[in-house]
Amino acid sequence: MIHCEGLVKIFKSDNVEVVALQGLNLSVGAGEMMAIIGNSGSGKSTFLNILGGLDRPSAGQVRVGEWDLLKIEDKQLVEYKRKTVGFIWQNNARNLLPYLTALENIEMPMMLNGKVDRGYAKQLLEWVGLKDRMHNKLQQLSGGEQQRVAIGISLCNHPSLLLADEPTGSVDSQTSDMIMDIFRKLNKEIGVTIVIVTHDMELAGKVDRVVAIRDGLTSTEFIKRNPNLEELGRLSEHKSTFEEEHEEYVVLDRVGRLQVPKAYLDALQINGKASMEFDGEKIVIRPPKNEKLA
């Protein structure tokens, strides 16, 4: 569904250039639900905005389904945004209309797109658990319920890809769990591919695959050891940690480059150069033997 290779995004303003993505590699299969984590400023939102067609890449490859987002023309981009992607932001509810009902809010973008499908609008509200509240005005709904209406709206155009940027950033942990359950259900039932950007490791731990971005590059990937244990985990008393549940992998690009975590380099006081040895089984990276280089 998504294939990125060497994706670069440079922001230019006056004489300053910011390289937000420095050659990012990532593939996401159709029907996958995964999370992207990373520190503030690592490039997560930039990446999501490119996938959503809200921003243009500077170089590299980025394909979503049949679309090549580097080469796409402006007119096609409008079509891509209308037909392929749905977007959810942290404060999506701000874009909703408080004096309309939940159902009317869902129907509004359908109307703007030229066709209201009331049956589907109702179905969407049912999927997000708001069947009984569909005739309530937005202002009568809680923040979490409004966010669920926003999830419904993101699916109005039957997208094959749903992008969520900090979707639970402004709700409590119970609502956050409910929103994740809705994503999982949508992913299973309608097969929509879901990419969630988050700071929250606990939230990230609820999906099978988590990719960490550092300084505009994919650095580490975490894969759930046993996805099927999730249900058991929910029922059991023992709350396992993210590390217990996930296997951690370092990501190598096509030519074998990898990012060594800064904490490791600091701990070994490696700065600029290191010695690397292969002992037949392992690759060992150490501070340079020549002290002058250390």
Which residues are at the interface with ligand ATP (CB under 6 A)?
Answer: 11, 13, 18, 20, 38, 40-46
> 254 by DSSP, 3-state: which?
coil
CB of 119 to ligand ATP, least distance (A): 37
CB of 16 to ligand ATP, least distance (A): 8
The residues, ordered by sequence, that sit 6+ positions from 180 with a Cβ below 8 Å of its Cβ are 168, 203, 206
CB of 127 to ligand ATP, least distance (A): 28
Comparison of 11 and 264: residue with beta carbon closer to ligand ATP: 11
Residue 168 phi, psi (nearest 5): -115, 20
Q: Is the C-alpha dihedral spanning 72, 78, 83, 87 positive or negative?
A: positive
The residues, ordered by sequence, that sit 6+ positions from 170 with a Cβ below 8 Å of its Cβ are 90, 91, 143, 147
Helices (H) and strands (E) in the chain, counts: 10, 13
Comparison of 48 and 192: residue with beta carbon closer to ligand ATP: 48
For tokens 């217990």, what's the residue? 244
Cα 133 to chain centroid, rounded? 29
> 83 by DSSP, 3-state: which?
helix
CB of 165 to ligand ATP, least distance (A): 8
Euclidean distance between CA atoms 139 and 1, whole angstroms: 37
Euclidean distance between CA atoms 259 and 218, whole angstroms: 8
CB of 52 to ligand ATP, least distance (A): 12
Comparison of 141 and 171: residue with beta carbon closer to ligand ATP: 171
CB of 21 to ligand ATP, least distance (A): 8
